[in-house]
Amino acid sequence: MEKKIKNSFIKSKYLSNKHLNYFDVYDDLFKDYIDKDITFVEVGVLNGGSLFMWRDYFGPKARIIGIDLNPAAKKFENDGFEIFIGDQEKPEFWNDFFKQVGMIDILLDDGGHTNNQQIITALNSIKNIKDEGLLIIEDTHASYMKEFGNPSDSSFINFAKKNVDYINYRFPNIGEVKEIFYRNVFSIFFYESIVCYKINRMFCKKNIPVKNQGENLKHKDFRYGDPDKEDTLNELKRALEIYE
Ligand SMILES: C[S@@+](CC[C@H](N)C(=O)[O-])C[C@H]1O[C@@H](n2cnc3c(N)ncnc32)[C@H](O)[C@@H]1O
C-alpha cells in the first residue's frame, strides 16, 4: 500500500501543528524520497511532533535534522534526531550550519514565517541543496497577513514571484541574470501556502535554439494570416513596424 504522510502525522507521539491541505502537497513532493538515504532538515521543531512524522514517513535511513531558536528542542537528540539551535534570520547561522552538516537533500521551512526569515533561509540554503533536492517554504499565507507586516512589496511571495523571472531569464537576452537562480533552480512550484524550489544544476543551462534534420516543407507561417494575401501583408508590415 502507498505510504501517506497523514498516517505518520496521526501516529506521531508528540504534538505537531500543520494544515490539512499540506498532506497532499507533501505526498506529491516527498514520495520519491521514502526509504532513501537522504538528509532532511526542518526549521521549526516546537513540540517535536513533525520530527517523528518525518522519521516514520522517510524511514530509518533518513538523516533528520531540526533547527529551532528554542534550546528545549535539544531534547530530541535522545531520539536520534540532530538538533541545531540558532536563528534562521542570520546568514552566519546558515554558514556555520552547512559547514557542519554538508550538502542536504530537502529543507522545509516551518519556522517563524516572517518575510526576512523565509527569504534569508531560501537565499542561504539553495546552494547547499543537492541536485534533485528540494527547498520548501511553508505557511506562505503569512505573505498576506497583517501580523507579518503584509501584504507588502517585500513579502516572501513577491520574492518568489520575482524568482520566476530569473528562471525565465535563462532564455538569452531578455533580462538580468541572478546567479543563484540561474545556476541552481530548475523550477519553482506554487501550492496553496507552500512554495517549492526544485534544485538541479544539470538543467540550469542557458537556452539555445535547435533544429532537427527533418524535411522542410516550406509551409507558410500564418501567425498574421496568409502572407500571400494583400491585407495580410499590410497587417504583417504594421505588426513589424510596431515591433521595431
Ligand atoms: C510552527 S512552529 C514549528 C512546528 C513544527 N514544525 C510542527 O510541525 O509541529 C515554529 C517554530 O519555529 C521556531 N522559530 C521561530 N522563529 C525562529 C527563528 N528565527 N529561527 C529558528 N527557529 C525559529 C519557534 O521557536 C517554533 O518552535
State the pLDDT at residue 114: 98
Alpha helical stretches, state H, 86-144: 91-101, 115-125
Angle at 135 between CA 130 and CA 137, to 5 degrees: 170
191-201 pLDDT per residue, tens: 999 999 999 99
Cell 505537531, residue located: 16
Q: Please tell me if the CB atom of residue 56 comes closer than 6 angstroms to any atom of ligand 1.
A: no
State the pLDDT at residue 244: 61
175 CA from centroid of ligand 1 (Å): 36
231 CA from centroid of ligand 1 (Å): 65
Q: Hey, what domains does the chain have and what are their CATH numbers? A: 5-203 (3.40.50.150), 219-244 (no CATH)
DSSP 20: T
State the pLDDT at residue 106: 98
State the pLDDT at residue 222: 87
State the pLDDT at residue 224: 81
CB atoms near residue 222 (< 10 Å): 9
Nearest ligand 1 atom to the CA of 48 is 9
For ligand 1, atom 3, the nearest C-alpha belongs to: 44
What 3-state class would DSSP assign to 63?
Answer: strand
pLDDT band at 243 (very low <50, low <70, confident <90, very high): low
Q: Please tell me if the CB atom of residue 116 comes closer than 6 angstroms to any atom of ligand 1.
A: no
State the pLDDT at residue 1: 73
Q: Is the pLDDT of residue 185 over 70?
A: yes
Angle at 205 between CA 201 and CA 208, to 5 degrees: 165
Helices 115-125 and 91-101 pack at an angle, to 10 degrees, of 40
203-237 pLDDT per residue, tens: 999 999 999 999 999 999 888 888 888 777 777 77
Amino acid letter, 173: N
User: Which whole-number Å values give the CA distances from 234 to 218, 223, 231, in the listed order?
Assistant: 21, 13, 5
Q: Is this structure's pTM higher than 0.85?
A: yes
